[in-house]
Structure 1
Amino acid sequence: MAASSKRKTSTPPHKPVRTSGNPARRPIVEAPPITARDWIGAARLRTLPLAVAPVIIGTGAAQLVDRELHWVIALACLAVAVFLQVGVNFTNDYSDGIRGTDAHRVGPARLTASGRVNPRTVLIIGLVFFALAAVVGLAIVIRTGQWWMLAVGAACIVAAWFYTGGKRPYGYLGLGEVFVFVFFGLVPVLGTTWVQAFYLPVEAWLGAVAAGLFGCAVLLANNLRDIDQDREVGKRTLTVRIGRRPTKVLYTVFVAAPFAIAMLTALLYPIAWLAQLALLAGIPAIIIVWTYRQARELVIALGLTSLTALAYAGAMYWAFVG
């Protein structure tokens, strides 16, 4: 009745919004219309450093083999990584939204869960970004002649979709960190190095491990924030399975381990010591994870961890080409 009385006023009502669960089953309330800021928020820009960092490391490793910077291919690799990341974010918004997983989430509101956007629209946008990644990836394959990498690209898109999509998403089974390590660490770093140098030096493998660990750390911070909500909806993330304290320990290891790799790398490339400066963001993130009182504080830790990865990648690139 309250909604009906509002519609009789002279002021045009806001678009009806459903508040929780499956958009087809939620009660309707009033909320502001969708804005450009909401769409930008759905892209989750704070996660983009995780897409950029592996390409930086991989390009630096490639220049150890071939001193020439193949900037066109490097930029194409960057575009693929960013398009895939944004595509994952939108399809995750869609999949979690229609499952009701985001009904009571702590972080920024999601488009699908808020009910202000047709779920199909969110899905289409995610698929468009996947398509853009595929097109640019195909261009890289044509330019380099590495046709076998089409299978790698297809695997990336499939992994991106089934993180939260499909009947049995692996993100709900505690396997998210495994796939993040592979597809946010090994694949982008080694793939970027290979298409520029056609060789994988040890430095590329070490950088790939470091990038993958940072990606896993971000996922742990995210899942630690949502642990209570995930338990309620049956999302069995690794954090839900092992609990808060082991997650904090594992997060700390994942953030710290790349710096041990940097110290090892510095034996041959002294500038790699500068990677330790990224701890200026990493240490506060670790402190927040261990001392937070409200789940929202972990949003800050998530952002700091992403920035740590980006700063680390920049230092490693300088070490390799300096």
Structure 2
Amino acid sequence: MLNITLKSWLHAARLRTLPLASASIILGSALAFSQQQFSAGVLGLALVTALLLQILSNLANDYGDAVKGLDDDSRVGPKRAIQAGLLTKQQMLRAIVVVALLSIGSGLALLAVSLGANLQAWLGFISLGGLAIVAAMAYTMGARPYGYRGFGDISVFLFFGLLGVLGCYYLHTQSINLAVVLVATANGLLATAVLNINNLRDFKPDQQAGKLTLAVRLGETRARYYHLLLIFSALLLLAVFVAWQAPSSLAWLFALPGLALVKVANTVFTHYQHHILDQQLQATAKLSFVVALLFSIGLQIQF
């Protein structure tokens, strides 16, 4: 029984989403490390906090879609835990509360390690942390979930990109600069591209259920052009950063998985079959993480 329960919770946590959730922390930390302003404590606690927030979002999405009756046999991707009968709504709601409290504790520990007695920074990051928790839960939960109204892309871009990378970099360095904004924007665009494929895969069931994701609002054809824009803009911004800030580093290694991302994007653009889009969703998530990882490692190596 214990193994079944553990397997159920691992299924609900959706572990395959966690590497991409850690990309912003890896990037922010790598940028700080390249400037000799790195804290292992910040890296560790930031990773824990980011992963807890992603798990919180996954649990809340499972619960929210189940309550609204959107998880049924028309769903194309992996079955959610409540939909599959692995967990009850009550169990999921209790888990959401527990993970939210854990993320608050982890976030406060992170701020204590990084900010010390800087009260102004404490207030700013507590506000951002509270906003992150609310955003994770309100995506599908509540009377007016913003994920059903086409605002999910903005949220993913902000939290996986600007706030994730810039926030982590600031916690290491106590500063922000324009070059870091380029990397943060690129990571946000790649994360948004992952969400867009998810929404393209679920286009028809979402449309029929009245879930107005941005893909549904744009329509299938324009959502595919939007996907190309996200991928090419992200890779261009990373290239601009490397050419400007680290031309003699191995950060250019990001171009290898970047080329694979372009190939995947072409498949997304030309294919409408649900199972193919699900494959490209997984590939884009993995490749986006590899882009962040190779960029971060290569940035530290000069030639």
- Is TM more than 0.5 here? yes
How many residue pairs get matched?
Answer: 289
Which amino acid is the alignment partner of residue 168 of structure 1?
R
User: What pairs with 1:58-69 in structure 2 (closer than 5 Å)?
Assistant: 58-65=28-35, 67-69=36-38
Aligned CA-pair RMSD: 1.8
Equivalent AA in structure 1 for residue 122 of structure 2 = W
2:194, 2:185 → 1: CA distance?
A: 14
2:159 corresponding residue in structure 1: 183
For residues 155 and 97 of structure 2, what CA distance do their matches in structure 1 show? 20
User: How far did 1:320 drift?
Assistant: 3.4
**% same residue:** 35
Residue of structure 1 in register with 2:175 after alignment: 199
Q: Deviations over 1:143-177 (max 9, x none)?
A: 22341211110010011111111110110111110
| Contact 1:60–1:318 under 8 Å retained in 2 | yes
1:312 aligns with 2:291: yes
Q: How far apart are the structure 2 equivalents of 1:185 and 1:76?
A: 18
- The Cα offsets for residues 274-308 of structure 1, whole Å up to 9 and x where unpaired, read as 11011254134213312335212222211111112
Preserved contact between residue 37 and residue 172 of structure 2 (Cα < 8 Å): no
Q: Match of 1:41? A: 11
* Alpha-carbon distance between aligned partners in 1 of 2:22 and 2:258, rounded to the nearest angstrom: 18
- TM-score w.r.t. the length of structure 2 is 0.90
Task: Determine if contact 1:92/1:164 at 8 Å carries over to the other structure.
Answer: yes
- Alignment match, 1:223: 199
Q: Say which one has the larger Rg.
A: 1
For 1:100, which of 69, 73, 82 is the aligned residue? 69
Deviation at 1:202, TM superposition (A): 2.2
What SS class does the counterpart of residue 299 from structure 2 fall into? helix
- 1:147 is aligned, of 92, 115, 122, to 122
CA deviation profile, 1:120-154 (whole Å, cap 9, x unmatched): 11122233222221111101112223412111100
1:225-244 Cα distance to aligned partner (Å, 9 max, x none): 11111111110111111111
Does residue 275 of structure 2 align to residue 300 of structure 1? Answer: no
Q: 2:139 is matched with which residue: 129, 145, 163?
A: 163
Runs of 4 or more consecutive aligned structure 1 residues displaced over 6 Å after TM superposition: none
1:164-199 CA-to-partner distances (Å, cap 9, x unmatched) read 111101101111101111111111111100111001
Which segment drifts farther, 149-158 or 263-272? 263-272
CA deviation vs aligned residue, 1:21-75 (integer Å, no higher than 9, x gap): xxxxxxxxxxxx966444323222222122111111101222244x143111111
Pairwise CA distance, 1:211: 1.1
Q: Which whole-Å CA distance do the structure 1 matches of 2:276 and 2:142 have between them?
A: 31
The alignment status of 1:119 with 2:89, answered yes or no, reads yes
Partners of 2:4 and 2:206 in 1: how far apart?
26
Structure 1 unpaired stretches of 5+: 1-32
Contact in 2 for aligned 1:38/1:111 (Cα 8 Å): yes
Question: 1:8 matched to which residue of 2?
Answer: none
Closer, same or farther: CA 158–121 of 1 in aligned 2, 3 Å: same
Once residues 257 and 308 of structure 1 are traced to their aligned partners in structure 2, the CA distance between those partners, rounded to angstroms, is 16
State the Cα distance separating 1:321 from its structure 2 match: 2.6
Return 5+ residue gaps in structure 2 as ranges.
none
Structure 1 residue 208 corresponds to structure 2 residue 178: no
* AA in 2 matched with 1:279: G
- Counterpart CA distance in 1 for 2:271 and 2:96 is 32
- Quote how far apart the aligned CAs of 1:245 are: 1.1
> Which one of 281, 285, 305 corresponds to residue 264 of structure 2?
285
Greater helix content: 2
On the 8 A contact 2:20/2:285 being kept in 1, the answer is yes
